[in-house]
Amino acid sequence: MKPKPRVLFFSTGNSTRGRMAEAFMRKFAGDEIAVACAAVQSTDYDPIANGIMKEEGLDLAASSPKSVSDALKEHFSHVVTVCDASREKYPIWPFCRNLIRWDLIDPERIPVPGPEKNEIYRNVRNQIRRNVWLLTGQILPHPAL
């Protein structure tokens, strides 16, 4: 029996983008892919992001990010960094053959008022949804909708 693919979404900031990606991966792949997220600075997520994800029927509170030290002890078939290349440094994952770097802005760091902030989160959410859909299709032959 072939082992289940394992995907880690990793952020050097907080876990908001990683949690968003994890939620979409669970939606698209079900239990065919083991998925987790981890973050360096904070395992909290922005409540605005949770509201934006609830528009998609997903709840960020349903996941619990791994600590970085725990994530480094595990083997993942794919590690996806969800960092903003202009502001964050990409980590090195020496034992992962499939290291994927997504250049996603951190919406929490954009200083704009409420309605504009929601739009920024929606744009990041939509980028994540598309990226996760494409990644799921690369890992699984027929991802579920």
Q: Give percent of the chain above pLDDT 70.
A: 88
Position 90 confidence tier, pLDDT thresholds 50, 70, 90 = low
Specify if 145 maps to a domain.
no
d(CA 80, CA 98): 8
Specify if 144 maps to a domain.
no
Specify if 73 maps to a domain.
yes
Nearest to 53 by CA among 125, 101, 112, 114: 125
Residue 111 · residue 7 · CB < 8 Å: no
- CATH code of 23's domain: 3.40.50.2300
Specify if 92 maps to a domain.
yes
Q: Residue 130 sits in which domain range?
A: 6-139
pTM of the model: 0.89
Residue 95 has pLDDT above 80, yes or no: no
How many domains in the chain? 1
d(CA 96, CA 89): 18
Residue 69 · residue 61 · CB < 8 Å: no
Q: What is the pLDDT of residues 42-85, one digit of tens each?
A: 667 788 999 999 999 999 988 888 888 888 888 899 999 898 76
